[in-house]
Amino acid sequence: MWIYEKSLERPVKISRPDPAFAKLVITQYGGPDGELSASLRYLNQRYSMPTDKAKALLTDVGTEELAHMEMIAALVYKLIEGADPKDMEAAGWGGQYAQHNHGLFWTDANGVPWSAKYIACLGDPITDLAENMAAEQKARTTYEHLIDLTDDPCVKDTLRFLWQREVVHFQRFGECLNDVQEHMSKMNTWCGYEMRK
């Protein structure tokens, strides 16, 4: 089903380590609008889509989100590389160091652990696709905030790439929503129920 290449979707570079910024960018790893949440949401929702095209899109985007999670992990590791316990504590990551050392854990920027509550799936293709569009907008906004919070041009380059992919995903989900609505209209169904006359 998948072919895995042992390289990131796009190279991740930094100008210098920055544990304080790593603490912020971790939200795109395990926060509510992060890449893990998006991937699991889309790969789960694909089963309730009424068309092969919609199923394929959710599979493709969900898989790409896994690649983005991998990029965020690489970015965080580079930002904390060489940080000693005092550096981690000064960056507000003393608890992270105490529990995980330099190992990553799915949290948001405030240290709140990832939760399955972040995954939306109602089994209604229209509702789920609209939710996906909103999720991509929330991720786009988070990347914009992160870009504003760093002055490292290499980090900004990585974040801008991920920002651009959120915009593309939003557009694809919008197109898919139109296709699914048209399909359901032709089938004289809406959300799994026969349309009322």
The pLDDT value given to residue 193:
52
As annotated, the binding site for Ca(2+) includes 60
CA distance 132 to 46: 12
As annotated, the binding site includes 35, 60, 65, 68, 136, 169
Q: CB neighbours (10 Å) of residue 69?
A: 21
As annotated, the binding site for Mn(2+) includes 35, 65, 68, 136, 169
The pLDDT value given to residue 187:
81
Domains of the chain (ranges plus CATH)?
Answer: 19-194 (1.20.1260.10)
Helix, strand, or coil here: 113?
strand
The pLDDT value given to residue 4:
73
Q: What are the E-state strand segments in the chain? A: 189-190, 193-194
Per the confidence metrics, is the pTM higher than 0.75? Answer: yes
The pLDDT value given to residue 192:
52
Residue with tokens 């696709």: 129
The pLDDT value given to residue 186:
86
Mean pLDDT by 10 residues, the chain (197 residues): 79 97 97 96 96 97 97 98 95 93 94 93 94 97 98 98 98 97 82 51
CA distance 120 to 130: 11
CA distance 126 to 128: 6
Phi and psi, residue 151, nearest 5°: -115, 10
